[in-house]
Amino acid sequence: DAGVIQSPRHEVTEMGQEVTLRCKPISGHNSLFWYRQTMMRGLELLIYFNNNVPIDDSGMPEDRFSAKMPNASFSTLKIQPSEPRDSAVYFCASSKQTQGQPYGYTFGSGTRLTVV
Amino acid sequence: SQQGEEDPQALSIQEGENATMNCSYKTSINNLQWYRQNSGRGLVHLILIRSNEREKHSGRLRVTLDTSKKSSSLLITASRAADTASYFCATASNTGNQFYFGTGTSLTVIP
């Protein structure tokens, strides 16, 4: 298995532009998580999906952020319009949840977003 | 906030020494996990300890959990230069399936 795959690895965009980050979870994993990492705030959970359904999006900072998971093998995180303060590394992670069993996450390599 | 806090923020040791990092959290948990992050990379799962466990070992790693003090420690024995990374604890609540990560300890192992 290639692990969790994120694209692009790096993204530089101008303020006001739309940005779309992509994630392919590990096959067979039924939970997917989007995190944002900055020096100031550390790792913040933005949203997570279970069986393609958004369960908790309370970490999404603003309406400019949206996430979708149209099927078990693909998810997107979209920022529209982007702002300089959105600059961060965005991580996608997946896991296989089984009832009563704790589990670990597998993280992707992240997308480093710079908004200028 | 459920977010854990690691202590110290930064740690520098000589190769061969042991490294100890601590994590404190605020709410009841189902389990606690430790992750490592190398510079510019994603996080890698190291070890999981359940709330009813007190100690767990994996290779050179030893994790303890004290639920009465809401704290955990990660010990890396006989450290190597390759252990240089940031280490994070992550806690999952009894009712939630999501993990909240601490602020991390930056470990530098000097060859």
* C-beta atoms surrounding A24 within 10 Å: 18
User: Taking chain A, what is the end-to-end CA distance rounded to the nearest angstrom?
Assistant: 36
Q: Which residue of B has its CA nearest to A99?
A: B97
Closest to A34 (Cα-Cα) out of A63, A71, A68, A85: A68
Q: Which residue stretches of chain B have pLDDT < 50?
A: 1
Angle at B61 between CA B43 and CA A103, to 5 degrees: 50
Closest to A106 (Cα-Cα) out of A6, A3, A2, A1: A3
Token pair recorded at residue A53:
């359904």
Q: Which residue has the tokens 């110290």?
A: B8
Please name every residue paired with B20 in a beta bridge, in sequence order, or none if there are none. B75
A110 touches chain B (CB under 8 A): yes
Asked if residue B109 lies in contact with residue B55, where contact means CB atoms within 8 angstroms, the answer is no
Closest to B33 (Cα-Cα) out of B109, B98, B85, B80: B98
Q: Which of residues A14 and B92 earns the better pLDDT score?
A: A14
Asked if residue B100 lies in contact with residue B91, where contact means CB atoms within 8 angstroms, the answer is yes
Interface of A with B in 57-86 (CB under 8 A): none
Q: Which residue of B has its CA nearest to A10?
A: B40
Residue range A26-84, pLDDT digits in tens: 999 999 999 999 988 889 999 999 999 998 898 898 899 999 999 999 999 999 999 99
Amino acid at position A26, single letter:
I
Amino acid at position A55, single letter:
I
What is each CA distance from B26 to A27, B4, B29, B80, B90, in whole angstroms?
34, 7, 9, 32, 12
Asked if residue B60 lies in contact with residue B76, where contact means CB atoms within 8 angstroms, the answer is yes
Q: List alpha helices for A3-88, DSSP H.
A: none
Q: Which H or E run includes A81?
A: none
Q: In which band, very low, low, confident or very high, does the pLDDT at A1 lie, cut at 50, 70 and 90?
A: low
pLDDT reported for residue A53: 94
Residue range A73-109, pLDDT digits in tens: 999 999 999 999 999 999 999 998 776 666 788 999 9
Per-residue pLDDT at A115 exceeds 90: yes
pLDDT reported for residue B1: 47
Token pair recorded at residue A88:
């961060």
Token pair recorded at residue B41:
């990379």
pLDDT reported for residue B102: 86
Three-state SS for B42? Answer: coil
Q: Which of A56, A101, A105 to mutate to test the interface with B (most CBs of B within 10 A)?
A: A105
A97, A104, A108 member nearest B42 (Cβ): A108
pLDDT reported for residue B5: 82
